[in-house]
Every structure is written in C-alpha cells, then in structure tokens.
A and B are shown apart, each in its own frame.
Chain A
Amino acid sequence: MMWLKRLFSRRRLYGELSEEIREHLEEKIEELVAGGMSRKEAAYAARREFGNVTLVEEDGREVWQWPSIESLIADVRYGLRMLRKSRGFTATAVLTLALGIGANTAIFSYINAWMIKPLPYPQADRLMVVVSHDTKKGWTRNSVTSTADFIDFQKQNTSFEQTTGWAGWNFNLTGDGPPTLVEGGRVGWNYFETLGAKPMLGRTFIPDEDRAGAEHVAVLSQGLWQSRFASDPRIVGGNITIGGESYTVVGVMPGTFQFPLMGIANLWTPLALTDKERTDRGRSWFSAFGRLKPGVTLEQAGAESAAIFARLESQFPQTNTNLTLLVSSMTDEIGKEEGTTQVMISFAIVGLILLIACANVANLMLARATGRTKEFAVRGALGATRSRLARQLLTESLLLFFVGGVAGMFFGFWGIRWIESQIPDHIRGYLVNYGHVDLDVTTLAFTLGITMLCGLVFGLAPAFENSKLDVNRTLKEASGQASGSKRGARLRRIFVAAEIALAVVVLISTTLLVKSFLISVRSSPGYNPANVMVAQLALPKTKYAQEWQLRRFSEDVLARIQALPQVVSFGAASSVPYGGFGQAVEVEAVGKPAPQPGERFGARFTAVSTNYFSAMQIGLVKGRLFNSADEQANSPSVIINQTFARQFWPDEDPIGQKLQFGERRTVRTIVGVVRDIKMYYLRERPERQMYVPLAQFPSGTLGFVVRTTANSAAMPTAIRDAIWAVDRDQPVSSVEPLEMLMVIQDAGNRVLTKLMVFFGALAMFLGVIGIYGVMAHLVSQRTHEIGIRTALGASPGRVMGMVIGQGMKLASIGVAVGVLCALGVTRPLATVLYQVAPNDPLTFIAVPIVFAGVAAVACCIPARRAMRVDPLVALRYE
C-alpha cells in the first residue's frame, strides 16, 4: 500500500519542494542585499544562479512519479485539448484513418476467419487432405487416384491415425412430406470420428455398416431433423425413405457440425464400396482426408505417401504411371476452395489504402504544426526540451490514430456485415462457419496493432520535424506565421507524391480487376442464358433400374413441358451448365497412334435431347445437329465441341472422323462441331466436350432447360408440377433461371469487384484530398507573397498558373512513380485476371490521365483562392 500512501502525500511533497525553493531564493536575495546589491538586482542574480525554477520543480516532482506514465497522462490530456480545439483537422484526420483502418479490419477479419483461426475441430492442425497428382502432367485433383489405390494407402501408411473417404451426394428423400432433394454425402464409417465430431443424438457409423450389402443406415443433420421430423428424438432407430429404399437413422449431428469441403450437408450414409469398386484402379469418385498421428509432420506423411505410390506404380504401371497422392493441410485446402484469392488481393489493396491514409494524416499534422510554431517556441522558452516537445507531438499523433482506430473498428464491423451480406446462400456451406465472421480478439488486436504502429511511424516525422526549435527567431517574427522549416515543406511534398503514387497503384490494380470482371460477364458463355429456367433431378437407381424407364421418364416430362404456356423452346441433358452434374469419359481418336501408358485423354460427356442445342442456342460450327434419326438405336453419331476438334484434328476435317470412348470402347462418328460452352465457371478455359443423343444414353441425372417468353413467376412451379405429374415421388432441385445460377457461381468475383470499385474510389479520393490539402495550405502560407506579386503586376491568370503548376508538378511525379510501381505490382494479378494482361496498355494510359485530371481540378480550388488574393488585404493583414 506504499504507493497509495505516496499518492496522497504527494501533493504535500510538491508543496514542500516549492516552499523550500522559494525560501532558498529569499535567503540568497537577502544575503546579496546585505552585500550591498539592490533588491531588484539581487532577485535577478539569485534566479540566474539558481537556474530554471520551473524545470527544477518539475525534475524534483518527477522523482516521485511513476516514470513517464504520469507525464504521458498529462500529454494525453493536453493532446485531447488540442484535438478538440481544431475540430476540422481532427474530423478530417479521424475520418481518413477510420476509412483506412476500417477497410483493413474488415478484410483482416476474413483472413483471420479463413486462414488463421483453426478449423472448428479438435486438434485441427493434424487434419490433412490427400489429393491425387500427376507428376508428369502436373495436374492435381481433389479426389483420390482410384478406389483400390486409396484402400492400399489406407492399409499401408503409418503416418495417419485414421483416414476416411467422402463424396458429396444428393439424396431423394420421400415420405413424411413432399419429395425433397437433400444435399449430403456418402462417407467412410470413421468420417465423423476422424474429424473429431460427436453426434447430438444416437451414434455415428460403425465399420460393419460401411460395406456393400450391409443394412442401410443414415445420420441426419440437426436442421433436417428439426424441419422434417419436428425434432422427434424417436427418429433415432426409426426409418426414413431415401431413393425408394428404407434407411435406419442411427444419429443426429449438431447444427454446429460442418465440413466446408463438402458444402451444405444434411444427410450422410456410409460409402459402402462394392467389391468391384474396391478393386477398381482406373477411377475414383470420392475424396479423402485423415488425421495424422501426434508428432507426425506433414512432410513425413507426404514422403510416406510418395513411397507407397512409387510401389504401386511399379506394381500397376498401366494405371498408376506418374500418379501419386499428395498430403496437404486441410486448412489450406478449405482456404483454396472459396474466397481466399479475393481476400488476399483485397488485403494487399487495403494495406496500400492505409498507407495513403496515414501519409495524408502525417501531412495534415505537418501542416497544422507550422501554425503552432509559436506555441512550441513559447514552451521551449519556458524550459521544454526538444525531446519533451517531440514526445508531446508523438502522443498527439498516437491519440489521433487511436481515435481513428476506434472509429475504424465501427467502419470495419459494418464492412464485415456488408461483405457477409454479399455471399449468396448457395455457397455458404463451403465457407468456414457458413461465411459468418465476427470481430474477435485477434482482429481487434490486429486493428489496435496497426493503428498504433502507423501512429508511431507516421507520427515520428512530424514530431521530429516540428520539435526543431529556434526560439529566438520564431518569437521575433512579428506574425508568428513562420512558414516552417524548409525541410518540413519538402517532407510534405514527398508525402503527397508518395501518396499519389500509391493511389495510382491501387487505382490501376482495381481497374484491371474490374475490367477483367466486366469482360468475363460480357463474354458469351456459348449459349443464350436469358429467360432460361433450369430444373434438375437425379432418378433413383432402385426405381429406374432399366434404361427404358429412364428414357420414358425424360420423354414424358419433355412432353408435359411442351404443353406449358409461354414456352418458346426446351430440352434436356444429362448435365446442364452451372448445374453441378457432370460426367467425363476417356476418349481416343480411331486411326491415331494409341496413347502412352499413363497418358489418357478425357472429355466431358453429355447426353442431350435432340432439341437441347436449339433450346440453349448453342451455335453450330460445322456439320449438323442431332435429329430424330440419331435417336435410332443403331445410329452411331456424336457431336464434339470446337476445342475437341482443334486438339484432336488440328489440320483435318473432324466431320466423319471416328471416336472411341468409355469403358465399352464404343466407336462413334462425328457428325457436327458446336461452339465451346461454359459449364461451371464464367472464367473457365474451354475443355473437350462430346455430346451423344439422350435417347441412346438415358441418364439418371437430368437437367431440363426451358426457354420462356419472359421470366414468369409461375414458371418454376409449373415445371416442377410437370415433373411431379410424371413421378409424384421425384424430388426436384429448386427451379431457377440460368442467369441466376451464373451469378451465384461468380459471387466471389462479384464481391471482389464491388470492393475494388469502392477501394479504387477511396484511394483516388484520399490522394486528391492529399494534394488539395497541401496546395490549400501552401496558398494560405503564401498569401502575403502572392499579395506582393499581384501588387507588382502579376496577372491573376499567372498567379493561378503558378499554383496549379506547382501542384501538377507534384502530381505528375507521383503519377509517374505510381505507374512504374504498378508495372511490377500488378504482375501477380495475372492469375486472377480474365482476358486482361497485368500491364494492360489502356488501363496504364487511362488511369494516369484521369488521375492527373482530377488532381488538376483539386489544385484549381486553392489556385482560384490565390488568384483572388487582394493585395491590399494581404499586405495590411500583418
């Protein structure tokens, strides 16, 4: 309690010190007076010999204080008073900082949520994903190389505690309500266990259930359990109907359980691989991950996997040449999936914006301090040392940044919510915590950290510059409007030029990204998506075991759709663009040399109704489209896309060539070549694709496309009813306009583009504010000089030209440096840009011109003020 006592007795201590000093001086004076000096002279002499009374008292008091903390409090108080006094300055600086810091807070919170925070599983750092990789061709796929390979890997590896497979799956849930398509997955029995997830009711799967022919079992999500089964706990042990078969529910997973790689999942059944699948070394349809044993590193696991696959390669050269499984951290893989690139680009951009904002504020502080020269001179004369003044200035800047940081936190929070609102519900399942992000301790610490760091770094220059004292000169100057040291002015110009350079870099980068987005949106997908409705479904194998059943179903549905009003054209395909279904087959050109082992060519395989091309308006390039003759069982026709034709028959006419494909090595004749179409992404590179008649290749997965006269609200229901009229128990995915599916798929780029537009504008705004501020300050400092010039006959136009010229010199230096920097900085953007080069000439010419134009306008305002300076007023002002 010593410090408490001391705190209370301190006032007394200070009083005693003052009294003592007073007595000391008195005694001295008396002695000097006794020696024959006048009292006035003696008082001077005593003070001279004593030194600076205030400083001595302050030093004496400091002995009792906690070092520097208390003088810091005093500085903070003084700083707050100064900030309150100049409201305009404070408001501008705080707003600038808040925007910069807010943008960083918002973007960082996503980095934190998606890349820094551990995944919501126990010991998530031990969870590893395995992906297949072709060492020769360089491709990497999320699925395992083949079922048999994975089973060998599972048995032979010693690095993993557990490994498990999974595949996203759509289930047709019937009974207990309308038929519904439920998203979920087929998973290895230990899938939940490997993740460390526990059910809220019942249990998860046991090994015996993960075998072909075992009793059908299922696990539900809490959401499905609530919505469909009214949270009835008796569901555990009860039966549900999936694809027409009965499944026993063994457990319910809590709503908090999520596996972003699978996406939204509400129902799980065991993988239950068949014996045929278990020995299949050619294909795989599922992905896998595992939990490392404690202490095993990713590198060790990777090395072991490489060794296992080297053995498999020598054992099965026909299928396994160049193939291996790579081990990769699950956090990284989930990050790769959605949004990470966009977030990292945004983070780089907001980093630059923060620098611009900071340079802006540093400039404001420098400018303001020139107005305070006299204040500092007085304080210096009263005994303040340079370091003391610098500390005061630094405290003020930290204070300013702190206030800006707190305001920025609010902006940041708002930004987080805005970004979150832009994420379409359809992709939330692929995001950690369903894309929900909160301000947490890490983010707050980050915000506070960058705020204080910037405050320190950008406060140092003004503090250093302005604490330089020349007491005599400043106090002697009549107006007290000392124009500040030359270096201070130079520092300001450097800051502005740097700020403009940064703004140009940001503006060029954002323009490139926006341009690439606009190009991708405007580029033709190869079909006309306007007014096209898409309905998708998967027919259960149990009910539709025979080909004729599948064929009959699609024919019946198409006939009913044709009868609907407002239908312009329609068609069906085994997979439609942006639909999610898709199939690929191995292809070989007949009459060409057979491929090397391990060198297999694939192509997208789509079975289409004869009217599909005309309904989608997919253009014919060569040959002909399918007609009813092609539906005959013996007609061996196939249509390929342009890329296929170009890659397989670069110098020959593809029409009439023969194609061998699939497991049955079917041989078909090419009758037509159609345009490439975008199947999954707006920015995808065209891939080989082949089309066969749906009547010959009936498909269990179906997408119906219906072009209507106008987007009518009744259409989705009408289409669904048409399907239900054929099969009352058949669930249908939500029926949606194709254009909307495309927008959802591109949501990440859409958000990024909106952010880029905002950040680009912000950077430009801050850069222009910066140059305006400096020019306005310069003009107000030079009022006197301008007055003299005008009095001596300088025309207003000349004065204006002088100011604008000075401003534009700064601007052009900044712009030039910015353009040079941008040439280097934008290079990494190449991977995300679509049909725009990172050094796109148009952008690199247009942005500097626009920027220079806006800067010129910003200079005009202070220049006009300079022009209107009345020499009489300016000179009388003294």
Chain B
Amino acid sequence: MKNREQRDLFPGALEMMILRTLKRQPRHGYALALHIKRTSNDLLQIEEGSLYPALQRLLKEELVKAEWGISSTSRRVRIYKLTAKGAKHLEHEVSRFEKMLDGITRVLAPGES
C-alpha cells in the first residue's frame, strides 16, 4: 500500500496543481484528474482518489468553491471554481515553488563545486 507522501509528491504539490488547473477554467473532479494526468504526460503517478481529500482541504480553506452542475456528458457533477483567495494563494505558492526549484537546480547543476 502506498502511503500518503508518495501519492502527494511533496506536501502541497497536488493542491498547487489543482489550483493551477482550476485557474484556467472551472472543472469537476474527474475532468481535473484527467487534465492533470494528461498534461503531465502521465509522469506523475497520482491515484485519482487522492484528489478528493485535497479538494476537501481546499474547500475548507475557501481557496475553491464548488457547485453542483451538469457536465458535458450530461452528468450531475460538482464543479470547482477558484476563489479570489485561491488565486492569491496560488500566486504565492507558485513563486515560492519557483524560488525553491531555482535553488535546487543551482545546487544540482554539474560542473561547479
């Protein structure tokens, strides 16, 4: 059995990806999962299920909101939207992530020692 850390990549990564995806357009859970999988070229092995606890966390923190609606395949689904607070949070997280990535890249860069 995989534990949560493996599913989540690093803490907050999944949330960040969800927020980024929702920034482009509101989606429901299944579409979100598909999109993340597809855009990452299946590089990220995410259990689809792990999306839902993450979404619940975002809902609780009011970074996203959800409404019941009808999907393109005419199903009753819950569509998630980014809130203003969520957009701000995403911006903050992305810049933090980029800084971190930048740092890691520098350290990992070959040649210098």
**A residues adjacent to B (C-beta < 8 A):** 16-17, 20-21, 23-24, 26-28, 30, 49-53, 55-57, 59-64, 383, 385
Contact = CB atoms under 8 A, between A and B. Distances in A.
A613 to B, nearest CB: 90
Given A60-B56, A63-B56, A63-B57, A52 B76 contact: no
Interface of A is mostly: helix
A16 B78 contact: yes
5 contacts: A24-B33, A27-B73, A28-B30, A30-B73, A56-B49
Contacts of A55: 49
B53 A51 contact: no
Interface residues of B, number: 24
Interface in B12-55: 29-30, 33, 47-50, 52-53, 55
B108 to A, nearest CB: 31
Given A27-B30, A27-B73, A63 B49 contact: no
A63 B60 contact: yes
Given A23-B76, A24-B30, A28-B30, A17 B56 contact: yes
Interface of B: 1, 3-4, 7, 29-30, 33, 47-50, 52-53, 55-57, 59-60, 71, 73, 75-78
A385 B29 CA distance: 26
B50 A56 contact: yes
B53 A63 contact: yes
B56 A23 contact: no
Contacts of A56: 49-50, 52-53
A17 B52 contact: yes
Contacts of B53: 56, 59-60, 62-63
Nearest to A59: B53
B93 to A, nearest CB: 18
A63 B33 CA distance: 20
B75 A60 contact: no
A23 B75 contact: yes
B60 A50 contact: no
A607 to B, nearest CB: 91
Contacts of A52: 1, 49
A119 B80 CA distance: 68
B52 to A, nearest CB: 5
A64 B60 contact: yes
A23 to B, nearest CB: 6
Contacts of A60: 52-53, 55-56
B65 to A, nearest CB: 13
Nearest to B60: A63
Contacts of B78: 16, 20
Given A28-B30, A63-B60, 8 more contacts: A20-B77, A24-B48, A27-B75, A50-B47, A51-B48, A51-B50, A56-B52, A63-B53
Given A20-B29, A23-B77, A64 B56 contact: yes
Contacts of A61: 56
Contacts of B52: 17, 20-21, 24, 56-57, 59-60
Contacts of B73: 27, 30
A-B pairs, 4 with minimum CB distance:
A51-B47, A51-B49, A59-B53, A56-B49
A53 B7 CA distance: 14
A52 B71 CA distance: 25
Contacts of B59: 63
Nearest to A381: B1
B50 A24 contact: no
Nearest to B31: A27
A58 to B, nearest CB: 9
B40 to A, nearest CB: 15
Nearest to B77: A23
Given A20-B78, A64-B60, A53 B49 contact: yes
B63 to A, nearest CB: 12
Identify which of B1, B60, B71 gathers the most chain A CB atoms within 10 Å of its CB.
B1
Contacts of A24: 29-30, 33, 48, 52
A569 B87 CA distance: 109
